[in-house]
Amino acid sequence: MALFITFEGGEGSGKSVQARALCRRLSRLAIPAILTHEPGVTSLGRKIAHWLKWGKDIGISPPAELMLFNASRAQLVNEVILPNLQSGKVIICDRYADSTIAYQSYGRGLDLTMVKAVNEAAVQGVKPDLTILLDMPVETGLARKKDKKPDRFEQENITFHRRVRQGYLELARAESDRWLVIDAAKSREAIAEIIWQKVSQLLSKKP
């Protein structure tokens, strides 16, 4: 039954809401599922997440940002993702390595080959069976978060966020078998049903 599902999307896309909804649905069906996210969760990851999201005064360079995300990721794979996959659970992860490609390569402008190489070292061969991209215009997503205190990434200009969105769409086109792209302007219920149709198909193929 082991299945690894990741959720991706720009700011305000609703991916976290859908990740939680999927985990609840699996639990109601008595399918063992673990919900996790990046960066954070582990003791190391929580410290790194604080620097990455709120450390605007410490001048984190793009290469340092890349390494910090992947340090958190490597720890998450070792402590949470890999052990639970090995025990046959469904893992739902809110952001994973594709976020780093979209944000640090397309967004920040770091060399794509380098970013992929660092990601590969961190994930240790653990790749998603399904990646769900909730896509919407960046202006709409940022407007959804206007009443919340913005973190370092939410404070970036609109051009940055457009590059991130373009990165996600290019990644999805390059690996269309792995990605499910959904219009995030749809209702929560409609999105959840599209996701469930795909996940149930994958579960039916598992032994």
In the numeric block, the tokens 């198909």 are attached to: 201
Q: Are 111 and 66 in contact (CB under 8 A)?
A: no
Return all residues near 15 (Cβ < 8 A) that are at least 6 apart: 7, 8, 9, 94, 95, 132, 134
For the entire predicted model, the pTM comes to 0.94
Average pLDDT, the chain: 95
Q: SS3 sequence, 97-115?
A: HHHHHHHHHHHCCCCHHHH
For residues 196 and 192, what is the distance between their CA atoms, to the nearest angstrom?
6
Q: Could you give the CA distance from residue 107 to residue 156 in angstroms, rounded to a whole number?
A: 10
Beta pairing partners, 93: 6, 36
The number of CA neighbours under 13 Å toward the Cβ of 14 is 22
pLDDT at 205: 85
pLDDT in tens, 131-185: 999 999 999 998 887 778 888 888 899 999 999 999 999 999 999 999 999 999 9
94, 35 contact by CB (below 8 A): yes
Q: Which pLDDT score, from 0 to 100, does residue 143 have?
A: 87
Asked if residues 80 and 36 have their Cβ atoms less than 8 Å apart, the reply is yes
pLDDT of amino acid 150: 82
Residue 51 near residue 17, CB atoms below 8 Å: no
Joined together, the tokens standing for residue 133 give 């991209």
| Look-up of token digits 């373009």 | 166
State residue 115's pLDDT score. Answer: 98
Q: What is the pLDDT of residues 9-28, one digit of tens each?
A: 999 899 999 999 999 999 99
3-204 topology per CATH: Rossmann fold (3.40.50)
Spatial separation of the C-alpha atoms in residues 146 and 12, rounded to whole Å: 9
The predicted pLDDT at position 1 comes to: 74
| Long-range contacts of 152-157, Cβ-Cβ distance < 8 Å, separation of 24 or more | 152/52, 152/53, 152/54, 152/55, 152/56, 152/60, 153/11, 153/53, 153/103, 154/11, 155/56, 156/107
